[in-house]
């Protein structure tokens, strides 16, 4: 994809001299893992993976590459769901991985902030906050591998967004190496600072196309002193939404997570995943996993949960419910939610749609998309689940039983387009959490075209005029048919 020149031997020599032996990988056996994305949709090549030790080294390496006009692909934990950090197969793009910059620089308890480098895994950052008696309120399934730089570059979401917002809302300050090697020193830990454009907000979610996020100041929260979780049987998504509204009317600040699961998805989990069983008397058309939490001692959190559940059982919104009586039971409830992806994998080929709509439209999304997909492929098994309180549903579809997986996957774009048309009709988004990456740029002109995409391009051209950073991500090629890649199961 990149029109940039390959790095010359001289450039590679200079980079090796700058970064030292542990700072550059050139053998294909070493670089290969950096050239394939987590979903194995993209298989690229690179002449070098650069692994700078600190911001100064990175800035010098970027300056050298920029002077040579060489394209650079930033990479963190390489957990993108949309091929956001994979070089193309020309071998001309260098990968720059910040995993060696992995220090938690400081935690300020009075400010409720932490300063972390890009290469710290989200899990390590959570742990450091916890050891300081605080909480970093961001949690995603890949948190053991995903690194802060990528988490911020993609504005990660996850289970606690309903309470604390996306990654974007946690960022007070950023340090960024720009495409020319200059450094934006924005590591301020100010809650209020109205001095010009909010550059940090532009870099968050820009998927490595505008700069390398090297460090960040993140806002922390107190640790919860009490947590309660319940699994609730409901008639449908409308019932799930009514339950959400009831909990939110009580106190949105208590809702740590509010997850929807379809009856079909739950059936796959309990049948196919060892150790997963439904703790209710009988299966239901749909389920909610609600978790309440509060840092306040003696807040009668159990009472708060029972108040809403009791009223919902009485008025029929909830038909059955179980409250976790121990940490072990709470983890067992979460297992039912977290094993949805694994259960779908065991059930055969599946197609994923990470979509969002206004919260009020979720029931209509699920009803219409379920019917449309069934009409398209008889026997298809829709298993939607996810963050209903954010309007974010992972509308995944499992192949009909007995169908050839390859035949099913050959229809992937017809399925995605079917779901997409309904999402669009409901004023939704084709990518709620995962971003655009290399998988979805072809959708940008249709969904975000006109003045919106034109303005994004202007910004890209202003900050990275030669298009050196993460070519192929977010923006569709200017000419010709935008590329569509067929995802694996």
Q: Please answer whether residues 376 and 415 qualify as being in contact, where contact means their C-beta atoms are separated by less than 8 angstroms.
A: yes
Q: Up-side HSE of residue 121: CA atoms within 13 Å toward CB?
A: 13
> By CB under 8 A, what part of segment 368-387 binds its own copies?
387
User: Minimum distance between the CB of residue 189 and its own copies, rounded to whole angstroms?
Assistant: 5
Contact between 61 and its own copies by CB under 8 A: the answer reads no
Q: How far is CA 336 from CA 137, 228, 258, 261, 274, in A?
A: 22, 16, 14, 9, 11
**Phi, psi torsion values for 271, nearest 5 degrees:** -85, -35
> By CB under 8 A, what part of segment 197-226 binds its own copies?
197-199, 201-202, 204-206, 210, 221-222
Among positions 452, 483, 484, 488, the unique one binding its own copies when judged by CB under 8 A? 452
> By CB under 8 A, what part of segment 412-451 binds its own copies?
427-436, 440, 443-444, 447-448, 450-451
Compute how many residues bind its own copies; rule: CB under 8 A. 92
Tokens of 118: 């890009």
Tokens of 370: 């379920």
Q: Please answer whether residues 110 and 192 qualify as being in contact, where contact means their C-beta atoms are separated by less than 8 angstroms.
A: no
Neighbours of 26 (CB within 10 A): 15
Give the helix ranges, DSSP H, for 273-320. Answer: 301-314
User: Minimum distance between the CB of residue 133 and its own copies, rounded to whole angstroms?
Assistant: 9
> By CB under 8 A, what part of segment 140-169 binds its own copies?
154-155, 157, 161-162, 165-166, 168-169
User: Minimum distance between the CB of residue 321 and its own copies, rounded to whole angstroms?
Assistant: 20
Q: Which is nearer to its own copies, 202 or 280 (CB)?
A: 202
User: Minimum distance between the CB of residue 379 and its own copies, rounded to whole angstroms?
Assistant: 31
User: Minimum distance between the CB of residue 312 and its own copies, rounded to whole angstroms?
Assistant: 16
Q: Which is nearer to its own copies, 204 or 411 (CB)?
A: 204
Span from 17-25, 176-184, 322-330, 333-341 in contact with its own copies (CB under 8 A): 176-184
Contact between 456 and its own copies by CB under 8 A: the answer reads yes
d(CA 93, CA 48): 8
Tokens of 259: 């997850």
> By CB under 8 A, what part of segment 293-312 binds its own copies?
294-297, 299, 304
Beta bridge partners of 233: 287, 320
**Exposed, middle or buried: residue 367 (CB in 10 Å: 0-12, 13-18, 19+)?**
middle
Contacts with its own copies, 329-368, as mask; x by CB under 8 A: ---------------------------xxxxx--------
Contact between 110 and its own copies by CB under 8 A: the answer reads yes
Q: Which is nearer to its own copies, 177 or 232 (CB)?
A: 177
Tokens of 262: 């379809």
Beta bridge partners of 322: 231
Q: How far is CA 210 from CA 106, 118, 130, 201, 461, in A?
A: 26, 15, 32, 12, 9
Span from 63-71, 244-252, 259-267, 330-338 in contact with its own copies (CB under 8 A): 244-252
Name the residue with tokens 């979610």: 205
Contacts with its own copies, 68-107, as mask; x by CB under 8 A: ----------------------------------------
């Amino acid at each position: 994809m990149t029109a940039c020149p390959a790095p010359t031997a001289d450039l590679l020599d200079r980079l090796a001299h700058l970064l030292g032996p542990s700072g550059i990988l050139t053998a294909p056996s070493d670089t290969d893992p950096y050239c394939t994305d987590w979903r194995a949709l993209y298989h690229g090549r690179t002449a070098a993976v650069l692994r700078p030790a600190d911001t100064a080294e990175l800035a010098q390496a970027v300056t050298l590459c920029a002077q040579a006009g060489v394209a650079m692909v930033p990479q963190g934990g390489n957990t993108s769901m949309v091929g956001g950090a994979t070089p193309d197969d020309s071998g001309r793009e260098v990968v720059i991985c910040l995993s060696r910059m992995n220090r938690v620089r400081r935690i300020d308890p009075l400010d409720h902030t932490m300063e972390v480098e890009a290469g710290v895994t989200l899990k390590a950052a959570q742990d450091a906050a916890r050891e300081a008696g605080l909480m970093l309120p961001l949690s995603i399934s890949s948190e053991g591998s995903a690194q802060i730089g990528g988490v911020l570059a993609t504005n990660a979401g996850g289970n606690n967004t309903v309470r604390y917002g996306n990654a974007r809302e946690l960022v007070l300050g950023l340090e960024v190496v720009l495409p020319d090697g200059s450094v934006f020193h924005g590591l301020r830990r100010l809650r209020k600072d109205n001095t010009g454009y909010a550059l940090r907000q532009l870099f968050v979610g820009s998927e490595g196309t505008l700069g390398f996020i090297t460090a960040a100041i993140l806002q922390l929260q107190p640790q919860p002193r009490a947590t309660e979780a319940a699994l609730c049987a409901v008639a449908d998504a409308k019932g799930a939404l009514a339950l959400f509204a009831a909990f939110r009317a009580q106190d949105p600040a208590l809702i740590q997570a509010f997850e929807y699961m379809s009856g079909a998805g739950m059936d796959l989990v309990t049948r196919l995943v060892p150790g997963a069983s439904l703790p209710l008397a009988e299966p239901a058309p749909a389920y909610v996993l609600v978790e309440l939490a509060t840092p306040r001692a003696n807040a009668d959190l159990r009472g708060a949960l029972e108040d809403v559940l009791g009223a919902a059982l009485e008025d029929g919104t909830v038909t059955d419910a179980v409250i976790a009586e121990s940490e072990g039971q709470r983890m067992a409830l979460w297992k039912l939610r977290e094993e949805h992806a694994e259960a779908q994998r065991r059930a055969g080929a599946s197609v994923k749609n990470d979509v969002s709509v206004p919260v009020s439209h979720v029931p209509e999304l699920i009803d219409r998309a379920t019917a449309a997909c069934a009409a398209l492929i008889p026997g298809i098994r829709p298993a939607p689940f996810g963050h209903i309180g954010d309007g974010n549903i992972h509308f995944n579809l499992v192949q009909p039983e007995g169908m050839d997986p390859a035949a099913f996957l050959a229809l992937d774009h017809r399925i995605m387009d079917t779901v997409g048309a309904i999402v669009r009709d409901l004023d939704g988004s084709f990518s709620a959490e995962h971003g655009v990456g290399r998988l979805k740029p072809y959708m940008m002109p249709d969904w975000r075209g006109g003045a919106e995409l034109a303005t994004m391009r202007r910004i890209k051209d202003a900050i990275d005029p030669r298009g050196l950073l993460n070519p192929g991500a977010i923006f569709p090629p200017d000419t010709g048919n935008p590329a569509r890649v067929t995802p694996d199961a």
